[in-house]
Amino acid sequence: MVKLILRDKEYEVKPGMTLLSALQKISVVPESVIATREGEMILEDEILKDGDVVKLIAVISGGAGIDTRTSNTELRGICHEM
């Protein structure tokens, strides 16, 4: 089996399907997550193998409305606070 982990939920899907198919099966919108396996990002067309553990990281859309004149130092502080 393949394990998909999103926040505190775990899902199991059959090996041999693509990541996209697995996300659709568990009703997760592909654009709403970044998938990683063993710390490396994987793409939607990746074939999932038996024993894979895929961590799904929720993507936050929108922005903080950062002024483009903000310095890099200020941006680092903003990102650190998030």
- CA 21 vs CA 8, 9, 18, 25, 43: distances in Å: 21, 18, 5, 6, 12
Give the range of the structural domain holding residue 13, as residue numbers without chain letter: 2-60
Q: At 58, is the secondary structure helix, strand, or coil?
A: strand
pLDDT tens by residue, the chain, 82 residues: 999 999 999 999 999 999 999 999 999 999 999 999 999 999 999 999 999 999 999 987 665 554 555 444 444 544 444 4
Contact (Cβ atoms closer than 8 angstroms) between residue 30 and residue 44: yes
> What predicted TM-score, i.e. pTM, was given to this entire model?
0.72
52 belongs to a structural domain: yes
Domain-located, residue 80: no
The total domain count for the chain is: 1
> 72: part of which helix (H) or strand (E)?
helix 72-81
Residue 72 domain-assigned?
Answer: no
Q: Report yes or no on 6 lying in a domain.
A: yes
Residue 73: inside a domain, yes or no?
no
Helix (H) or strand (E) holding 23: helix 19-25
Residue-level pLDDT at 60: 77
Residue 30 sits in a domain of what CATH number? 3.10.20.30
